[in-house]
Amino acid sequence: MVRRSLGRQVVVLLLLTATFCSTGCFLTRQRWRPYPAKRSPVPHDMPRELRKAVLPEYIIEPPDVLDIQAINLVPKAPYHLRVLDTIDINVFGTLPDAPIAGIFPIQVGGTVDLGFTYGEVKVTGLTPEEAKRAIHQHLLKHLRAPEVTVKLGAISAQQTIEGEHPVAYDGRVTLANYGRVLVTGKTIEEAKAAIETHLSKYLQDPEVSLRVIAPSSKFFYMITQGAGLGDNVQRFPITGNETVLDVVANTGGFGPDSSKRIWIARPGCNSDGCDQILNVDWRAISQLGQTCTNFQLMPGDRLYVAERQWIRFDNDLNRLMRPINTIGAASSSIIGIVSQFSGNVLGGGAQSQFGQIAGSAGQAAAEGSATVLP
């Protein structure tokens, strides 16, 4: 009775193994598609090595960083002095050892410091002409007949507007007290005009220079198929000069699971309404020095490296066999335990037969777990 039960278990295990193997092979064949289903012809003028194209005009997007420099920032009249503004003060008739001449910054308290001899004068909220009268009135405490001239130097707007400005997630740059300006989706010239238009509410004919010093919103991707173990995706910033060969060189070449089937998937649709797929002949590029398929990469491109099919099959087979091997190992352990505790009842001959069957089942499970497709 025990011998029949063990025979049935072995038969069930063999049937399960055959079923999983056939199912795995079928599923694996369904997944293996070396290229997309639809492919369109490659235009003859497609940019490639030795015939590269200039990328389209840069479109600003988050999280780009812009550098803004002031060319002309003149406040509208009448201008009232603010903290961090500077004024040019010259006074005639001062004490010989305490002259007043030069550029004076307006301090945090709203005052200008005329030195230890004369003290400080509050000028914030005043026009330059009003500041001149306030300084003259203050100096009469120390001098007989001072002659004062006051001119506006640099305004604080120049300090707050100039410098690096990151584009926020909402597509705007912040110009300190002058508010925020939407620049996303604009070219550099369009963003410059938008900033100047916004500043014209506060300044007289403002003019700035604008450039992108950290272009962080344009990328291309390299996707390496993982032979059933998960794809590897890498993202690279676009510089406008990369080709397929450059990307492969920068990533250190291909791994052992990668085949030489490569293509570029370019987002968007062409005139035929199909996705644009550019097939790459790696042997021609690397061994023959041909440039026909060494395409120039554009923003958003996906450089796809397909897997080796036999490695994918081997990985899928091992993954499907893993639960079967686990069941076989568990069955072997159970059979060994049963044969050990039934020795006193069945006798030495039956125990020997149980031991032989358990050993055969364990050996079959071990051979199944070590199966590797050549």
What is the strand order of the sheet 203-214 is part of? 163-166, 65-75, 203-214
Query: 249: which residues sit within 8 A by CB, 6+ positions away?
Result: none
Give CA–CA dist 285/342, Å, rounded.
Answer: 70
Pick the closest to residue 171 from 301, 67, 59 (CA basis): 59
Mean pLDDT of 130-134: 94
Query: 16: which residues sit within 8 A by CB, 6+ positions away?
Result: 324, 327
Which DSSP category does 295 fall into?
A: B
Which DSSP category does 68 fall into?
A: E
pTM: 0.62
- pLDDT of 128 strictly over 70: yes
What is the share, in percent, of the chain residues with pLDDT greater than 70? Answer: 75
Give the tens place of pLDDT for each residue, 269-294. Answer: 655 555 688 899 989 998 999 999 99
User: C-alpha dihedral over 121, 122, 125, 129, to 10 degrees?
Assistant: -10
Query: 141: which residues sit within 8 A by CB, 6+ positions away?
Result: none
Query: 20: which strand partners?
Result: none
Give the tens place of pLDDT for each residue, 291-347. Answer: 999 999 999 899 998 877 767 777 667 777 777 767 767 767 777 776 676 655 545
Q: Are 150 and 128 in contact (CB under 8 A)?
A: yes
Query: 330: which residues sit within 8 A by CB, 6+ positions away?
Result: none
> What pLDDT score was predicted for residue 10?
52
User: C-alpha dihedral over 309, 314, 318, 324, to 10 degrees?
Assistant: 100
Question: What does the block give as tokens for 81?
Answer: 């002095």
Q: How many residues does the chain have?
A: 374
- Cα 154 to chain center, whole Å? 39
- pLDDT of 26 strictly over 70: no
Q: Are 303 and 221 in contact (CB under 8 A)?
A: yes
> What pLDDT score was predicted for residue 24?
47
Highest mean pLDDT of the ranges 3-12, 214-223, 364-373: 214-223
Band of the pLDDT at 78, cuts 50, 70, 90?
A: confident
Q: How far is CA 266 from CA 116, 279, 300, 326, 359, in A?
A: 70, 11, 7, 45, 57
Phi, psi of 8 (to 5 degrees): -65, -40
Question: What does the block give as tokens for 348?
Answer: 């030495």
> What pLDDT score was predicted for residue 76?
83
Mean per-residue pLDDT of the chain:
79
User: If residue 214 lies in a helix (H) or strand (E), which one and from where to where?
Assistant: strand 203-214
> What pLDDT score was predicted for residue 81?
92
- pLDDT of 229 strictly over 70: yes
For residue 129, the number of C-alpha atoms closer than 13 Å in the C-beta half-sphere is 3
Question: What does the block give as tokens for 306?
Answer: 């397909």
Give CA–CA dist 87/104, Å, rounded.
Answer: 5
> What pLDDT score was predicted for residue 350?
47
> What pLDDT score was predicted for residue 326?
75
What is the share, in percent, of the chain residues with pLDDT greater than 90? Answer: 38
> What pLDDT score was predicted for residue 297?
93
What domains can be seen in the chain, in order of their start residue?
Answer: 1-31+308-329+351-374 (no CATH), 39-54+218-307 (3.10.560.10), 65-73+157-214 (3.30.1950.10), 80-154 (3.30.1950.10)
> What pLDDT score was predicted for residue 62?
93
